[in-house]
Structure 1
Amino acid sequence: MKITDIEVIKWNPGTGKNFIYIKLTTDAGITGWGEAYAQADRDIQIEAHIDQLSRYLIDRDPFHIRHFMHIAHEDFATKRSAMDLHCALSGIEIAMWDIVGKLSNNQYTIS
């Protein structure tokens, strides 16, 4: 199974900052959702980081979370250490874990 698509969805609830959701889709039709924290007026930078990080995700196994995080930090984060990058990384990681949970029947809910 491989990740085939990454989509960023922004939603402004009228509170002064956008919520950023990340949707990963696999070739098996499984989707994973993550959320990236965004400070006011930083959502454009976070979205740009997600777009740049997509080259490390497309055609990769969503179960290889540790490998993705290692490569992203070694090849990407050493050049950019801003909080925006870590917000993007955490949202992607959450989406990857969501895929893993769905496929291993260990889904979670927040209620």
Structure 2
Amino acid sequence: MHSIEIRGAITHNLRNVTVRIPKHALVGVAGVSGSGKTSLVSTLAAGAQQAVSSLFPAFIQARMKTLEPGQVDALDGLTFTAIVGQKKFSKNARSSVGTASGIAPYLRLLFSRSASPSAG
């Protein structure tokens, strides 16, 4: 499966929403205020957490912060999912989402290992 599919999401502002999110991609969620962006991402994060937490021993599961699962008809294709928290970042004009969240060095390493050189 090349995508994560959420079908029939009913959480807060979401009303029977179906979404297909591509795997192996950096995906952002955008929209107007009150459109359900946070509800959608929280539903995805809770489902991914449930899928991954079963791999850990019980004593680690007990110490993990649990997310409130959303109501969905189906959540298919879930794998490890990295969620960047929603918070106010510094007012540095040179900051990007990657630098402010701390994920930039990891993305740099990932792309340096998987990219193909080009003369371009």
Indicate the TM-score class for this superposition, using the shorter chain for normalisation.
0.3 to 0.5
TM-score (norm 2): 0.35
Bigger RCO (CA 8 Å, 6+ sep): 1
Find the structure with the greater CA-based Rg: 2
Higher strand share: 1
Higher helix share: 1
